[in-house]
Amino acid sequence: MNISQFITESEALAEEIVAQRRDFHRHPELGFQEHRTAGVVADAMNGLGLKVRTGVAETGVIALLEGKRPNPTILLRFDMDALPIQEETGASYTSTVDGVMHACGHDGHTAIGMTVAKLLHSHRQDLPGTIKFVFQPAEEGLNGAERMVEEGVLLDPVPDYTLSMHLWNDKPVGWIGITPGPAMAGSERLEIEITGRGGHAASPHQAVDPVLAAAQVICALQSVVSRNLDPCQAAVVSVTQVRAGDAFNVIPSKALLKGTIRTFGGEVRDLVLQRVKEIAGGVAQAMGCEAQVKVERLTPPVVNNRALATKLQSLVKRVYPETTVDTEEVAMGSEDMAFMMEDIPGCYMFVGSSNPAKGLDASHHNPHFDFDEVVLPRAAALMAVSAWMLLEGD
Ligand SMILES: [Zn+2]
Ligand SMILES: [Zn+2]
């Protein structure tokens, strides 16, 4: 079959996909609470006659589309959750839930996934393999993907590849980012507890001040990236929370720092974690305090399979000649799709979605976030075309 056909067929569904996205946008649901969204998705997948499993990781939906032969199998993943943000877009389809908003574009992802299912289903008699549609809950910091892996999303059948995407408001519609190798950073939660000795603020010599030590630690941590790391490598160390003391005239006994570390894993991660621990411990000790450092891994990095990414780059250039294909887009944000990509070769694509001329260019997680909906049918066609090509083994 001529895969470019999907572009025409997807454009014909433009009105429907926009309406679907706006419906999800009006009814945003936080992670693991996507009951309405999952219900709409499951109804649509059942309506197409797919093999549907619901309640995976609370609200996840898995739908299997079987083609003319069983293998290979491709997993397509779309996330469904919203964020605890009060919407300020003023859009006609604005959120109807106070304090909850689709500010990352997952409403679009869910609508795109449903459209991809429709497109591929209508050609199922020619489909050269199996598609496993995964509608995932709780991507925003809650690791819904990890829960789905624990509950068997990668089994029965085991996918040969994974494909996933994010609408990307940092770039305009017409831009697509496919990066071979590391594409999004892994994320760790950092906690440093500094213990000194409390006392009267007017008698600092009788106390050991953990606030001063915390301040020094924060400053010294800035040297990890600037002085220890190879300048051609990437990492982030951000201290984002500082808590100490309850009174203006008391030197507290403890100070607590929290933050995050982002790296692409490997030696850089080892180095950054080692230096953070050494610096926090050493500086605190120099100030007469003690530091306890806890680092908890939240998500591994998203690493695209190089061969797969290269294949998709050339496919996209062939099918969409007017599209800008960026082969170097890398984000220090994290993405729990990494859990599904750890053992299965996969590719995670960024799909430019902003349109500054229409004022649709606020960044992700901003109360004004919105994207240009013309991207929706294009992204659906892109996923359908990519999946088809991978099944064919083109
Ligand atoms: Zn997000
Ligand atoms: Zn997102």
What's the confidence (pLDDT) of residue 394? 56
Measured between alpha carbons, how far is 386 from 120 in angstroms, rounded to an integer?
11
Note whether 83 and 103 are within 8 A (CB): yes
Q: In the chain, what percentage of residues exceed pLDDT 70?
A: 99
Q: Are 373 and 92 in contact (CB under 8 A)?
A: no
In the chain, % of residues over pLDDT 90:
96
> Helix 375-392 to helix 5-12 angle, to the nearest 10 degrees?
140
- Residue 105 alpha carbon to ligand 2 centre in Å: 6
Average pLDDT over residues 79-91: 97
pLDDT of residue 290: 98
Fold of the 186-299 domain: Alpha-Beta Plaits (3.30.70)
Please check whether residue 110 is in contact with residue 80, taking contact to mean a CB–CB distance below 8 angstroms: yes
In which band, very low, low, confident or very high, does the pLDDT at 319 lie, cut at 50, 70 and 90? confident
Q: pLDDT tens across 208-267, in order?
A: 999 999 999 999 999 999 999 999 999 999 999 999 999 999 999 999 999 999 999 999
Confidence of residue 35 (pLDDT cuts 50, 70, 90): very high
Tell me the CA–centroid distance for residue 103 and ligand 2, in Å: 8
CA–CA distance, 33 with 311 (Å, rounded to integer)? 37
What is the per-residue pLDDT for 269? 96
User: Is the pLDDT assigned to residue 51 strictly greater than 60?
Assistant: yes
- Cα of 334 vs centre of ligand 2, distance in Å, is 9
User: How far away, in angstroms, is 377 Cα from ligand 1 center?
Assistant: 21
Q: Which ligand is nearest to the CA of 337?
A: 2
HSE-up of residue 215 (Cα within 13 Å, Cβ side)? 3
Which ligand approaches the C-alpha of residue 351 most closely? 2
Residues ≥6 apart with Cβ < 8 Å to 158: 73, 344
For every residue of 296-354, DSSP letters joined together read EEEE--EEE-HHHHHHHHHHHHHH-TTSEEES---BSS--TTHHHHSSS-EEEEEEEEE
**CA distance linking residue 373 with residue 17, whole number of Å:** 9
pLDDT at 249: 98
Whether omega for the bond prior to residue 157 falls within 30 degrees of 0, making it cis, is yes
Instruction: Tell me which ligand sits closest to the C-alpha of residue 108.
Output: 2
Q: How confident is the model at residue 3 (pLDDT cuts 50, 70, 90)?
A: confident
User: Separation of 71 CA from ligand 1 center, angstroms?
Assistant: 33
- The answer to whether residues 225 and 270 touch, using CB atoms and an 8 Å cutoff, is no
Tokens of 322: 């007017």
Contact 190, 372 (CB under 8 A): no
Q: Which ligand is nearest to the Cα of residue 109, counting in written order?
A: 2
Tokens 């995670």 appear where? 348
Catalytic site residues? 81, 139
- Position 388 scores a pLDDT of 95
- Dist CA 98 CA 120 (whole Å): 36
If pLDDT is split at 50, 70 and 90, which confidence band does 4 have? confident
- Mean pLDDT across the stretch 149-174? 97
What distance in Å separates the CA atoms of residue 203 and residue 107, rounded to the nearest whole number?
Answer: 57
Domain ranges in the chain are: 5-183+302-392, 186-299
CA of 102 to the centre of ligand 1 (A): 9
How many whole angstroms separate alpha carbon 100 and alpha carbon 193? Answer: 32
Task: Tell me the torsion sign for CA atoms 118, 119, 125, 128.
Answer: negative
Q: What is the pLDDT of residues 334-357, one digit of tens each?
A: 999 999 999 899 999 999 999 999
Q: Over the chain, what is the mean pLDDT?
A: 96
First-to-last C-alpha distance (Å) of the chain: 12
Q: What is the mean pLDDT of residues 299-324?
A: 93
Alpha carbon of 250 to ligand 1 centroid (Å): 40
Distance between CA atoms of residues 213 and 217, nearest Å: 6
Q: Is the peptide bond before 72 cis (omega within 30 degrees of 0)?
A: yes
Which pLDDT score is estimated for 321? 87
Residue type, 225: V
User: Across-strand partners of 186?
Assistant: 263
Q: What is the CATH number of domain 5-183+302-392?
A: 3.40.630.10
